[in-house]
Structure 1
Amino acid sequence: MSVYKVILLAVDLSSESKQLADKTRDLAAANNAELHLIHVIEPLSFAYGGDVPMDLTTIQEQLDEHAHSKLQRFAEQLDYPVKAQHVVTGHTETEIHRMAKAVDAGLIIVGSHGRHGLALLLGSTANGVLHGATCDVLAVRVRESEADEADATEDADAGPS
C-alpha cells in the first residue's frame, strides 16, 4: 500500500537542490507516487516593494524562461518520471501550498538549511511551508555546496574590508 500517492518537490534550483534528488526519488519509487516539481519565482516587484520606476516585464519573462530550462534539467537528472513541472510566480510558501492542494499532494518535500538563532526566528521557507500545509512536509537537511563553502571561507579569511 502506498502512503503517498502524490509527492510535490519544491526546489529553489540552487546547487543544493541536487541534494534532494536521491531522497525524493527513493520515496517516490517506494510509494509508486506521482511526482510533481515546483519552483516559485518571487516577482521582482516584491523585492523592490513595487516602487521600481521601470517596466520589469521583460526581465521577469527572462527569469521564467531560465527557471523552466533549469527545472527541466533537474527533472532529467532525477531518474524518475515527473508528472508535471510547475514554474509559478508569487509568494513562495503560498504558491507551494496552492500547488499541493491543486495536485492533491500527500507529501511536500523541501530543503532546509537548519538555521539557528536570528535566522530561525525570522523564519525560513521550509518553516513557512510546514506551518501552512494541509499534508505532510518533509524538510530535508541540505548542506552548502563546496563552492559556496569556499566562498564563505574566503570571505571570512579576508576579514573586514
Structure 2
Amino acid sequence: MAYQHILLAIDLTEESGQVADKAVAMAQQGETQLSMIHVIEPLSFAYGGDVPMDLSTIQEQLDEHAQQRLETFADNLGVPVAQLHVVSGHTESEIHRVAKEIGADLIIVGSHGRHGLSLLLGSTANGVLHGAKCDVLAVRVQESSA
C-alpha cells in the first residue's frame, strides 16, 4: 500500500536529515505528496505564562527564523515539498491538527529511542503516535557525534 500524503515532522536539528531521508525515500516510491511541519512551542509555555513583558516580537522573530530554516531544509531535499507548516503550540496536538487538515495518511517523526526515565515520561514520537488518526512512522535517529 502506497501512502498518498506524508507529513514529515522535524525539529530542525542535525538529526532531522536522517528522518527526512526516510520520508523522501518513501515519497519517491509512488505518487506521494510530501509536506513538512515544524512546531515552535510558544515562549509563554516555557515561562508558564507569568512573564512581565510582551514576548510577541521575540516570538515573531523565532517564527520567521524557523520558516527560513524550514524552507532551506526543504530546498536541500531534492524533492518537491507540497506544503511547509511552521506553527506555534503544543507539538503533538499541532502535528495531529495539521495532519488532519491536509489529509495526511502517514506522519513521520524522529525518535531517539531513549530508555528508562525518559521513556516513562514519554517523547514527542510517543505523543504523536497516541493521538494520531493515521499511521505514524518513528524513525530511530543516531545521535550526532560532537
TM-score w.r.t. the length of structure 1 is: 0.89
Which residue of structure 2 lines up, in the alignment, with residue 121 of structure 1? 120
Aligned residues: 146
Q: Which has the higher mean CA deviation after the structures are superposed, 41-50 or 20-29? A: 20-29
TM-superposed deviation, 1:84: 0.6
Deviation for aligned residue 1:77:
1.2
Percent identical residues: 69
Query: Where does residue 69 of structure 2 map in the other structure?
Result: 70
What's the RMSD between the two structures over aligned residues?
0.8
Aligned to 2:42: 43
Structure 1 residues not aligned, in runs of 5+? 148-161
Q: Given residue 78 of structure 1, which amino acid in structure 2 is its aligned partner?
A: L
The within-5 A match list for 1:19-38 is 19-38=18-37
Aligned mates of 1:31, 1:132 — CA distance in 2: 27
Larger Rg: 1
Runs of 4+ in 1 over 2 A off after TM superposition: none
Q: CA deviation at 1:144?
A: 1.4
Equivalents in 2 of 1:31, 1:134: separation in Å?
Answer: 22
Question: What amino acid does structure 2 have at the position aligned with 1:5?
Answer: Q
Paired letter, 1:88: V
Letter of the 2:129 counterpart: L
Whether 1:133 aligns to 2:132 is yes
Measure how far apart 1:123 and its partner are: 0.4
Equivalent position of 1:156 in the other structure: none
Aligned to 1:83: 82
> 1:90-111 CA deviation, whole Å, 9 max, x = no partner?
0000000000000110100000
- Is the contact made by 2:8 and 2:20 (CA closer than 8 Å) also made in structure 1? no
Distance in 1, matches of 2:90 and 2:12, equals 16
- State the alpha-carbon separation in 2 of the partners of residues 86 and 145 from structure 1: 26
Q: What is the TM-score when the length of structure 2 is the normalising length?
A: 0.98
Whole-angstrom distance in 1 between the partners of 2:16 and 2:46:
22
Tell me how far apart the structure 2 counterparts of residues 53 and 31 of structure 1 sit (CA, whole Å): 52
**Bigger share in helix:** 1
In the alignment, structure 2 segments of 5+ residues that lack a partner are: none
